[in-house]
Amino acid sequence: MLRGCIDKIRGSESEIRNPGRIRTKLGVIIAVVAVLLMVPAVVLANFIPTNRDTRMPPAVAVFEDIPMDEYAFLGQFGDLRYYYRADRDVIMVRCALGRFVWRTGLDVPFNRDIEDAVFWAQTEEELRLAAMPIQQRLNATWTAMANSLLTIQYFELTYTTTMASSAAHDNSGRSTLMQLAPHHFRLDVQFAAPAPDIFIPLHIFLSDTGITYEIYAHEITGTGVDRMNAILITPFLGASGGMRRHFDFEANTFGEPEPDYMVPGYAFVPDGSGALMRFQENTVQLSLYTGHVFGENPADAMFFSNDEVGAVERPHPLMPVFGVTQGHDQQAFVAWADKGAEYMEIVMYPERNMTHYNFVYPRFVKNARIFQVYNRSGDGFFRLFPDRREYDISISYKFLHGGDANHVGMARAYRAHLIGEGILTPASVQSGTMPLRMDFIMSDVRRSVLGTTNVITTTIDQAEHIIRDVMTSGVGSLNGGLLGFQNGGVTTGHPGRIRFNRNIGTRRNFRNFFDEMNGLGADISFAQDYLHINRLQMNLPRNQAFHRNRWGLRAWDSFEPFLPVNEISLARPARSVDWLARQTRTAVNTGAVSHTVNGITNNLVSHWGRRDATGLTESMEMVRNAFASSPVPINAHSPNLYLWEYTHRFLQAPVFNTQFMISTDTVPFLQLVLHNTMEVYAPYANFSFYTQADILRMIDYNVFPSFVVTYRPAHYLGNTNSLNFYSTEYAIYRDIILDVYNQMSSILSHTMGLEWLDRRVLANGVILNVYERGSEVVINYTQQPFEHRGIYVPPQSARLFP
């Protein structure tokens, strides 16, 4: 081999003696060939799933028997039997039919107790009984947390956070379970020194489907309540993994840590469209996942200005739900919050981060640190909220088994719950023609010698021309929004009133336009952002929301002086809903039959002004009421759960997730929940979402295509704040729009209105969607054909099996 290496280098040396033009020409040829070959070389590779895909289901899990000695029977509801272990605060749920067993905690002894027992063991028999394996990376605090039903995080005097649990090793947490009714129990938890003095009653409701926990704000008492950072409920329910050190009787000490059997499975979190985080052992420490349900409230964030402007916007959970699956179609649970969701975080710890377990839990934040700025230079100090958040908590766990014990089953369970609550209405989407969404950027502003000038990219006549062209080319159902429809365009058009610009279209032009569109069957509406505001639009101090530290919120800062707006703030909730009401009235008077709303739909913001403070729950109610009282249906940009009841069209639905390193799969959980309850549209197919794989993803996720277009080339927007719309000209998109529409319509037109029953991974890169009446769709993302029911599905395509 060594000789071969040496021979090769000699050979190359002889080649060097004849350098010259040949090499240059060869270089060019090789370069061209290399680039041309690059495409097929990649395309022909096998399909390797990334964390943007859904992988094959987890392996079958093997569950060990759990001793029942220490558990007391609480009751049986339906097929579910409930038991309780008082010393560790663990509830066990056993299916009477033997389908599953869950414990709310790890149910493990404290290492310190084992070590003490081993130390004091007098005989070999005592030692044998005492020398239980000890947990690696679980100290007393974490062991207490792993067992307990309830854990709190609280602030020390230095504002660092510490935990105390209801089944603590020391006196920091003590609990008593009381039965108030056959199905209603109350766990009274008293926290004391070294933890602050806090008393929390945890109400536990047992049922034939699962457990519901409730905490009422008015029942929480104690002198240390304001120091409470967050409440954690059953954090280790469904935990998988662990590492223990077994006692070495020869060496008379505990041996090296050995990993426990890791139950195959995954945690589901509603990150983007939905993410699975499979349980696995890691060789490196990966960071945990924290999802702020409904988005992090910027008015309660640590700092009053956003410092993540350079990064891709991370999706936040639109719904307060998560779950765990163990094994392949064996057992799972899904948990959702009905109260306190706006203050809820979903946290997922991967193995090797703090402990050797994978676990996911809800965290309800009561108080937090903020940076109190006291001058314009930004100097300040850290402090807690002046008053803790007062809200009730209600979170339910539903246990699933068999074919429902996966993310699809979770989605169906949650969907059923939302339908039961009246938030979603099934069969709202009728079968028939697949709709297409087409938004128009009509104008925006650029800087000029005197202030700003409108840059008009689509007039109302041009929009009409485009719509007619699309609808006469085979698109049967079309809806769209008009962005920047008024003077000032997308960026500086006032959200509260409409000032028509004759160069875009007068009021009469718009009225005629809407009449024409209604006649054509196209639902076109005004589109407006009611949250992001700037100085050129209005007086900011009178309209912007204030942070807890009483400084106006800054959502975005830039350094590009060529842009007309370099600082964007967030509006007060009261202003936003007032503008929405005013503008929808004007829209109705102009003839629009729906309205497109952005900004307030997926950003929940409170306002801490001295006279007109608006809390988060109040803000949520305000926006919901504004939607409820809208005179026209609302098309909402990726709305949070609390708006779904009043949302007619769900726009820009996420079809990816944040892609945390611990995320292994992306799943259409959101789409499974929403299917047939409203029209759900994909992100614009103009921007990094234009490939064949993306079209297949839209079919797979049952979302309809959407585009944003302009009549004039996009480079006219290059000096405006809409410069991120860098590819929009209708002339270059016309054929693409029709092609995408036709491809998708041939499948989705047949599945619209049908119940989406299941979604299975047949092979890596091959998905099977099952609908009612036996309809199936196979989506083949791979480069190889796939056979299903004796029929080949070509590579990179989808096929309907009616």
Partner 1 sequence: MERNGLMIMVKAILAFILAALFAFGSPMTLLAVGPNTTMTFAFNRRGWVVRTQDAYLPYRNITTLGLNQPTGMVFGNHDLLYIADTGNRRIIVFDTQTEEVHNIFEFEGFQSPRGVFVTAEDWLYVADARANAVFILCALTGEHIRSHYTPTSMAFTDTLFSPNRIAVDLRGNMFIVGEGVYDGVIQLSNGGEFLGFFAANRTTRTFIQMLQDIFFTERQRNARIDRLPGTFSNVTVDNRGVIYSVSILPMGNFTGDGLKRHDMAGRDTFDDMIIWGLQHVDLCVDAGGFIYTVSPDGWIYVFTNRGEMIFYFGAGHLLDTDIAGLFRSVTALAVSSAGDIWVLDDQSNFLQSFRPTEYTRSVFEAITLFNAGLYEESAVVWEDVLRHNQMSVLAHTGMGRAQLHQGNHTQAMASFYLGGHRDYYSTAYWEVRNQWLMDNLTVVLLTVAGLFLLLSVMRHLDRKRVVAGAWGGAKAKVMNAPFLKPVFFAFSVARHPIDSYYYMKLKEKGSLGGAVFHFVLFFAAYMVFQTSRGFLVQMTEVVDMDFMVVIGGFFGLFILFILSNYLVTSIYDGEGSVADIFKLVSYGVFPLTITLFGVTALSHVITHNELFLLNFTLFFGFAYTVSVLWLGFQEIHNYGFKQTFLSLFVTACFMVIAIVVLFNLSILLNEVRGFIESIAREVYAHVTGMY
Q: Which of residues 520-579 bind partner 1 (CB under 8 A)?
A: 529, 532, 550, 555-556, 558-563, 565, 568
Q: How many CB atoms lie within 10 A of CB 474?
A: 10
Please name the residue that has the structure tokens 């759990």: 66
**Which member of 166, 477, 491, 635 binds partner 1 (CB under 8 A)?**
491
Q: Considering the complex, what minimum distance in angstroms separates the CB of residue 439 from partner 1?
A: 8
Q: Minimum CB separation from partner 1 for residue 706, in Å?
A: 9
Distance CA 678, CA 370 (A): 39
- The CB density around residue 624, as the number of other CB atoms within 10 Å, is 17
Q: Which of 312, 308, 311, 314 is nearest to 272 (CA)?
A: 314
Choice from 438, 574, 653, 674 touching partner 1 (CB under 8 A): 653
Binding status of residue 611 toward partner 1 by CB under 8 A: no
**Range 403-424 burial, b when 16+ CB lie within 10 A, else e:** ebbbbbbbbbbbbebbeeeebb
∠ at Cα 262 (173, 71), nearest 5°? 40
Nearest to residue 525, comparing CAs of 461, 596, 579?
A: 596
What is the nearest approach in angstroms of partner 1 to the Cβ of residue 427? Answer: 26
Kindly tell me which of 385 and 500 has the beta carbon lying closer to partner 1: 385
Question: Which one of 15-23, 108-116, 202-210, 223-231 is the stretch in contact with partner 1 (CB under 8 A)?
Answer: 15-23
Closer Cβ to partner 1, 123 or 377, answer by number: 377
- Binding residue (CB under 8 A) for partner 1 from 76, 425, 688, 742: 688
372 binds partner 1 (CB under 8 A): yes
Backbone dihedral angles phi then psi of residue 470, each to the nearest 5 degrees: -65, -45
Q: How many C-beta atoms lie closer than 10 Å to residue 751's C-beta?
A: 24
Q: What is the DSSP string of 529-596?
A: ESSEE-TTTS-HHHHB-B-TTSSB-EEEE---TTSS--EEEEB-HHHHHHHHHHHHHHHHHHT-S-EE
Residue 796 CB, shortest distance to partner 1, in Å, is: 13
Site string for partner 1, 414-443 (x = CB under 8 A): -------------------------x----
Pick the stretch among 8-16, 151-159, 513-521, 738-746 that binds partner 1 (CB under 8 A): 8-16
Of 63, 120, 249, 687, which one interacts with partner 1 (CB under 8 A)?
Answer: 687
Closer by beta carbon to partner 1, 50 or else 76:
50
**Stretch near partner 1 under the rule CB under 8 A, chosen from 35-43, 357-365, 389-397, 411-419:** 35-43
Shortest reach from residue 386's CB to partner 1, in Å: 7
Region of 44-52, 78-86, 87-95, 406-414 interacting with partner 1 (CB under 8 A): 44-52
Q: Quickly tell me which residue has 């290059």 as its tokens.
A: 718
Q: How many residues bind partner 1 (CB under 8 A)?
A: 112
How far, in Å, CA of 302 to CA of 308, rounded?
13
Are 398 and 334 in contact, with CB atoms under 8 Å apart?
A: yes
**CB-based contacts of 103, cutoff 8 Å, min separation 6:** 66, 90, 91, 92, 93, 237
Q: Are 627 and 573 in contact (CB under 8 A)?
A: no
Closer CB to partner 1, residue 291 or residue 505? 291
Query: What is d(CA 446, CA 455) in angstroms, rounded to the nearest whole number?
Result: 7
Q: For residues 411 and 702, what is the distance between their CA atoms, to the nearest angstrom?
A: 14
Min. distance of Cβ 246 from partner 1 in angstroms? 24
Q: Work out which of 45, 59, 68, 72 binds partner 1, going by CB under 8 A.
A: 45
CA distance 98 to 79: 9
162 binds partner 1 (CB under 8 A): no
Q: Nearer to partner 1 by C-beta: 6 or 68?
A: 6
Cβ proximity to partner 1, 447 vs 465, nearer residue = 447
CA 606/CA 574 separation, integer angstroms: 10
Q: Considering the rule CB under 8 A, would residue 121 count as an interface residue with partner 1?
A: no
Q: For residues 358 and 239, is the Cβ–Cβ distance under 8 A?
A: yes
How far, in Å, CA of 101 to CA of 237, rounded? 11
Residue 45 CA to residue 50 CA, distance in Å, equals 14
Burial (0-12, 13-18, 19+ Cβ within 10 Å), 686: buried
Residue 35 Cβ, how far from partner 1 at the closest point, in Å?
4
Q: Contact, 483 vs 440, CB < 8 A?
A: yes
Give the whole-angstrom CA distance, residue 19 versus residue 437.
Answer: 59
Site string for partner 1, 307-326 (x = CB under 8 A): xxxxxxxxx-----------
Instruction: Restricting to residues 719-758, name those near partner 1 by CB under 8 A.
Output: 719, 721-729, 732
Residue 656 interacting with partner 1 (CB under 8 A):
yes
Site residues (CB under 8 A) for partner 1, limited to 496-525: none
Nearer to partner 1, 6 or 628 (CB): 6
Rounded Cα gap, residues 94 and 788, in angstroms: 38
Nearest to 673 by CA among 713, 639, 637: 639
14, 18, 160, 283: residue in contact with partner 1 (rule CB under 8 A): 283
Q: Toward partner 1, which CB reaches closer, 231 or 531?
A: 531
**571-600 CB burial, b ≥16 within 10 A, e <16:** bbbbbbbbbbeebbeebeebbbbbbbbbbb
Instruction: Identify the residue among 32, 96, 193, 628 touching partner 1 (CB under 8 A).
Output: 32
Min dist. Cβ of residue 726 to partner 1 (A): 5
Find the binding residues for partner 1 in span 341-360 (CB under 8 A): none
Min separation Cβ 272 and partner 1, Å? 6
Give the whole-angstrom CA distance, residue 157 versus residue 138: 25
303 binds partner 1 (CB under 8 A): no
Q: Binding string, 386-405, against partner 1, x = CB under 8 A?
A: x-------------------
Binding to partner 1 in span 242-271, by CB under 8 A: none
Instruction: Answer yes or no whether residue 690 interacts with partner 1 by CB under 8 A.
Output: yes
Q: What residues from 589 to 608 belong to the interface with partner 1 (CB under 8 A)?
A: 598
Residues 451-470, interacting with partner 1 (CB under 8 A)? none
Min dist CB 190 to partner 1, Å, is: 30
Query: Which of 185, 725 has the CB closer to partner 1?
Result: 725
CB of 249 or CB of 374, closer to partner 1: 374
